Amino acid sequence: MTPIRHVGLHSAVYTAATLLQKGLGVILLPLYTRCLVPDDYGALAVVSAVGVILAVLCSMGLDTALVRLYPEVKDDEVARKRLLGTVISVLALVSVSSAALLALVGPWVLGPFLGDVPFYPLVAIGLVTVALAPAYDTFLCYLQATHRSVRYSIVSLTSFVLKVGLAVALVVGAELGAAGALLAQALALAATSVVVVVALRHDIAWTIDRALLARAFAFGRVMAPQSIAMGVKGVLDRVFLNHFVGLTAAGVYSIGFQLAALVQVAVACVNRALFPVFIEAIRSSEPARIEEMRSVAGLLVSVHCTLALVVSLFAREAVALLAGPGYAEAAIVVLPLAFSFAALGIQSIFSRELLYSTTTARWISVTGVSSVLVGAAVNVLVIPRYGIVGAALVALLSQVAQTTVLGLISCRVNLVRWDVGRFVAIYVGTLVLALAVTVWAPEPSLGLAVIKACIAVATAQVLLAVSGGRSLFGSPLLKRLSWIR
């Protein structure tokens, strides 16, 4: 199977499953925004943000190391089973012990980051998720590395459906508020973890192999700073908003973030399919396979930017429909956040090349950590004055800066010779168009929605032509993907 077909097939499966999850999540927004006041929604956002940071710290980059090392052991059944068992066993030990320790000392350690959010019961419930998430996420990474996209989708969808059902029961039925939403997440993850243990019984050797662990840590310690940086950067804005502005601001910002995160979903799904394919293409050193990766990259940049444009154009309508007037300000932050995720998609393309070697992979961590530190410093100055708008703009500018630096480094490595000029033209063009339409657009109406839809379709046509196709329906690339339909 060619790289473009491989990425197309697995991306389609990953995207379908993840978009279905996000779609159900968006459907839950009206329930949450009507059952939770902005302060409660803000508390949920802050606890979730702290949980993401802790889970990423516990993962130590070993999940990424598993995907990177799997191609080297996939033909050795014993080594493959021991690698998976070693990584999951170590992550389970670290995350469970860390969560147990924080349950005791958390009020003193995490207190400065929580503001008005009570540690008991909200953060304590969130620690259950911290204890289970790293090992569960590593299992999903294993399915990614072995190209089992259908099983990946079944597992992740099962977990999400459980969470949705429990959330409805505990938040809407039992009226437990933010605690109910957090408890639903923890219980769903616990139930799915049991299923994971059963599913792995033929694929894993429950052991800790020191030699394999050393190899995993050799790559993990290079990628851990980047993984931590990405996790922190994705949630630090809500922590700062809670600290400097209040829980209401954090709650409103989280609504806009969820809508913009539809772009992040596309980026993440494509990366799951692209990473193992790209590693195999580089290992093969076949010019034809590398050239196909260049073709895929141009198409992906167009898709990410078009999706960011669509999400930005319809932000006000989506917020009004899903969240109500109390969260109307959330629409302001959707455009900068959506295009920060589009920039992340371009960065991910550059990162695939740099991840091939631990020497160049270090630059991903260096730029990631630098981006977080600079972004945190700027947020401290900007958020007290400009609130949610300042937080969103900092997120956009810091992501664009990191992408630019990694793009320059990738050009020096030059394994693939990405068409960087075309990437820049597509990104800047769609960003300027989205900003112009957003500033010009009057109050939402049916006529305006039709105009926006026409703009989106026309832009998709142009971007597809720029990325190497002739039109939306006549592109050679899409013809090669036509079998997916």
How confident is the model at residue 24, as a pLDDT? 54
Average pLDDT in the chain: 80
- The arithmetic mean of pLDDT across residues 349-363, rounded, is 70
| pLDDT, tens digit, 9 for 90 and up, residues 203-249 | 888 888 888 888 888 777 766 776 777 777 777 888 889 888 888 88
Torsion sign (Cα): 178, 160, 234, 359: positive
Full-model pTM: 0.75
| Domain range list for the chain | 14-27+245-485, 36-222
Give the helix/strand (H/E) hosting 327.
Answer: none
The first and second tokens of residue 227, run together, are 């993984």
Torsion sign (Cα): 418, 423, 425, 428: negative
CA distances from 198 to 79, 187, 304 (A): 20, 17, 37
Amino acid at 328: A
How confident is the model at residue 232, as a pLDDT? 77
SS3 call for 116: coil
Place 326 in a pLDDT band, splitting at 50, 70 and 90: confident
| pLDDT, tens digit, 9 for 90 and up, residues 253-288 | 988 998 898 888 777 766 666 666 666 666 666 777
How confident is the model at residue 392, as a pLDDT? 95
- Rounded to 10 degrees, the C-alpha dihedral 227/228/233/235 comes to 110
- Report the alpha-carbon distance of residue 348 to residue 340 in Å, rounded: 12
